[in-house]
A and B are shown apart, each in its own frame.
Chain A
Amino acid sequence: MNRFKVWQYFLIFSVLILGALFALPNIYPSKPALQIAVGDSSVQLNDNFLAGIKNELTKEEISYQSIEASEASVKIVLDDVESQLASRRVLADYSGGDFIIALTSEPSTPEWLQNLGASPINLGLDLAGGIHFLLEVDTDRYSEERLSSEAASLTDEFKNQGFLVNFESFNNRVLLKFSSLDDLEKGRDYLNQNNFTTSGSKYSLIQSNLDLELRYTDNYLSEIVDYAVEQNLVALRNRVNELGVSEPIVQREGRGRIVVELPGVQDSASAKKIIGKTANLEFRLEARNNDSFLRKEKFNYRNTFQGSAFLEKIVILTGDSVTNAQSSFDENGRPQVNISLDIEGGRAMQKATNGNIGRRLGVVLVEERTKTFFDQDDNVVQESYIEKGIISNATIQAVLGTSFRITGLSSSTEASELALLLRAGALAAPMKFVEEQTIGPTLGQENIEKGINSIIIGFILVFIFMLIRYRLFGLSANIALMCNLILVVSIMSLVGGTLTLPGIAGIVLTVGMAVDANVLIFARISEEIKNNIDPQNAIRNGFSKAFSTIMDANITTLIVALILYAIGTGPIKGFAVTLSIGIVTSIFTAILVTRSLVNLIYGYRDLKDLKI
């Protein structure tokens, strides 16, 4: 007989109830809200600030539901989207561009659901609006930087051994220029003794005349880039947190890239200003007056009116050693910046400052800029160039270790800016923007509406067709389809997947394709009946004969969906996620849910004949 045992019905039913429960938060509309992030830590989030905001809103007659301040941001919940947009305008004028204002939404999930851990689906940027950046490690420049710093300490070492060597740095390589064959041999010996050239080492050496060319091996380079990206990821997260935007995404993509997504943020210029400080720091001693030009380099101050200064070529440490930097005031109420370094950085700093008290320590900000232009053939050419500027050049008062401070700053604004640069400027390797996307709030809203409309229209069309074509069987398939939709939504909400417009398209497609399994089953049942098999057996055979076809068809589609996920980016990934989830849940609903419904309808009756 076509009957399930009670526990089987119960199990299927429980899965559906759980699914419905976790899909539930999505039907509570979220309230429009504004988040004001205070990027500059010198502005204190005090009552005055809140009062100022409230005052501005009341002045423009914008009503709000609540306003509350947390550590580095203020959240205002508003009545509707109009007042959300209006208040953004008002507050942007009020702040004069100092704050990053994000349009967000406050979920109105009831507490009992929140306690269960249920929450609505995260919306992707194309649905929520916001900014997307893709940054890439500039490998050539990174290796040039590292190599020239290493070459500088090598030349120091050679000098200690009694011969002078000059070096020149190029894209991804340096040339050590020896003055005689004798020196070259000595240099070579040194490199050999210090494992520069053994197999599996990090350098490859090429000799030409009196020059030794030093570059990283591909293996080593990919190793350090890998490491640098991990470090940059942390630094970028800090910067993004500095923005105070809710639910930002900072994620590694591929070998040398990082994706940054800021939902709700519209002001791409100021976001770029903070994230896009594709900057690094270099701590160097100021050169002595009698140092030769080979050992020193001239830098302008970042604030140009201060002129320029000569610093040593040797970099003591870079920004990745800085673990923290805070602006504060010293005992006399003058602004200062407290800096913490990691242990290795502290050691390097100690070594460098020991015996150099009274000299100055320069901090150089290295910024990556990109320019794009057209060559003769009208092809787009992209070139990056570096801008280096001194942001601080303070006298060393004592031997420095893992924590020290920079004093003598002119204002607290300067202190907080320096602290921010030290803190956020700590990128292990230079990065550049390779992709940028801003999606307006109305487009996001429009996309949501369009997406939901297409699901509804598609669903209704399929529903009507199945009902007409297969009647009671069609009804069971339709109920199964509904269950499938609920399950897809609940799994997306549960695993914290991000729904995008292509993701919605994936759901719509699943609606169309999920009934395929039922159509296969029903077609089999009707064939069985035509072959004069009695109705109950026809139903059973129909389900079991269609099973392998359904599995084959779905597994192959799943393979494709997984490939899409593995190699796709952005929109393709979103599509692949919902498609994969939809395929898996549709196997469950189209087979088990439909079967239990059919069992409940027909399994307990004596069927003489069956129309399908």
Chain B
Amino acid sequence: MMNIPFTKFNRPALLFSAFMLFIAVGALFLKGLNLGLDFTGGVSVELKYESKADLEKIRGSLNEIDGANFVVLNFGSDEDVLIKFQSDESLNLNAETVIAKLQEDNYLGEVTKSETIFPQIGEELRDKGGIAILVAIFAILLYIIFRFQIKFGYGAIAALVHDVLIILGIFSLFNLTFDLSVLAALLAIVGYSLNDSIVVSDRIRENLLDKNAKGSADSLINLSLNQVLTRTIVTSFTTLLVLIALLVAGGAALQNFSLALSIGVVVGSYSSIVIVVGVLLGLNLSVKDMEKPKNEPEESYSLD
């Protein structure tokens, strides 16, 4: 087992986190998120060409259609083209118009996907997504209070909020598209980050409750962190392994999803060590807090 003085480094690490959060929130306020079609509504058409697609030619064709601003760009590869615009049915403007126009100009690739979403749906999804995250956080807080103690709950929630904000900040800063799949990733991270926080909290509680353990709460917390360190690293590593597989082999549709998850796994492990512990130290978690544990898990669950 390693013996790293985590608690000693906690303050500088918290300062670093505060700085990162400052940048993330700043980016969110100043730049906002680059919302995907799911959330904004509109039309998108994905085309696949046999060879490198001539974007200028496509733009030229589409500019002859009045009534909308077309965004034409590559995605995934040179052969794949994405066309986005706001729908306008009164001018007969929809995915079919674009396809027909390109066909007329003899420059239509294979239509791999077309999508039309009306703005009100996007708006609703945005609200729903926000609610989902809040509900998840609240449900988890309840569970942790029930299973542990409120101070752990604060720690876990602080870590969650930290992780979510950092991921959102990175998506904002690098102008990555935030769509439904990224929202799903974000919620998965809520689960994952929690996983880490719980493993750490579980160990801290166990050590605090251990009658034979010697030392201050501070040193017991430090002991716990060192005990779970191997596990934290190994699990993050295996999860990152599969996420890299998704990132490399999963294709364009899952790219931002796996990216968000990958960032989340790293940030989640970090926050379980820094944020959770920071909150517990800040709230002066002590053996006294453990006197009336709501549950005695070691006895209540047993395999044998």
Contacts and interface: CB of A to CB of B under 8 A. Distances in A.
Interface string A245-287: 0000000000000000000000011000000000000000000
A512 B238 contact: yes
A372 B88 CA distance: 5
Nearest to A481: B238
Contacts of A436: 95, 114-117
Contacts of A440: 110-113
A435 B41 CA distance: 9
Interface in B109-137: 110-121, 125, 128, 131-132, 135-136
Interface string B74-103: 000000000000111111010110000000
Contacts of B235: 513, 515-516, 519-520
A556 B249 contact: no
Contacts of A534: none
Interface size class of A (residues with CB under 8 A): 35 or more
Interface string A505-541: 1001101110110011001000100100000000010
Main secondary structure of the interface of A (DSSP, over half): helix
B115 to A, nearest CB: 5
B65 interface: no
Contacts of A520: 199, 231, 235
Nearest to A554: B195
Interface stretch (B10-18, B139-147, B167-175, B283-291): B139-147
A559 B143 CA distance: 9
Interface in A480-506: 501-502, 505
Given A382-B120, A560-B191, A575-B184, A553 B199 contact: yes
A536 B253 CA distance: 48
Q: Which of B1, B114, B119, B241 has the most CB of A within 10 A?
A: B241
Contacts of B301: 547-548, 551
Nearest to B257: A505
A555 to B, nearest CB: 7
A213 to B, nearest CB: 27
Contact of B245 (A371, A438, A458): A458
Q: Which of B131, B139, B180, B234 has the most CB of A within 10 A?
A: B234
Interface residues of B, number: 85
Given A436-B116, A560-B190, A380 B111 contact: no
Q: Which of A453, A502, A523 has the most CB of B within 10 A?
A: A523
A39 interface: no
A567 interface: yes
B295 to A, nearest CB: 9
B61 interface: no
A527 B230 CA distance: 11
B243 A512 contact: yes
A443 B112 contact: yes
A523 B226 CA distance: 12
Nearest to A563: B136
Nearest to A515: B238
Nearest to B44: A437
A563 B132 contact: yes
A462 B132 contact: no
Contacts of B183: 572
Given A556-B195, A557-B191, A372 B117 contact: no
17 contacts: A372-B90, A380-B119, A382-B118, A436-B115, A436-B117, A437-B115, A438-B114, A440-B110, A454-B246, A505-B246, A512-B238, A549-B203, A553-B195, A560-B140, A560-B190, A567-B132, A575-B188
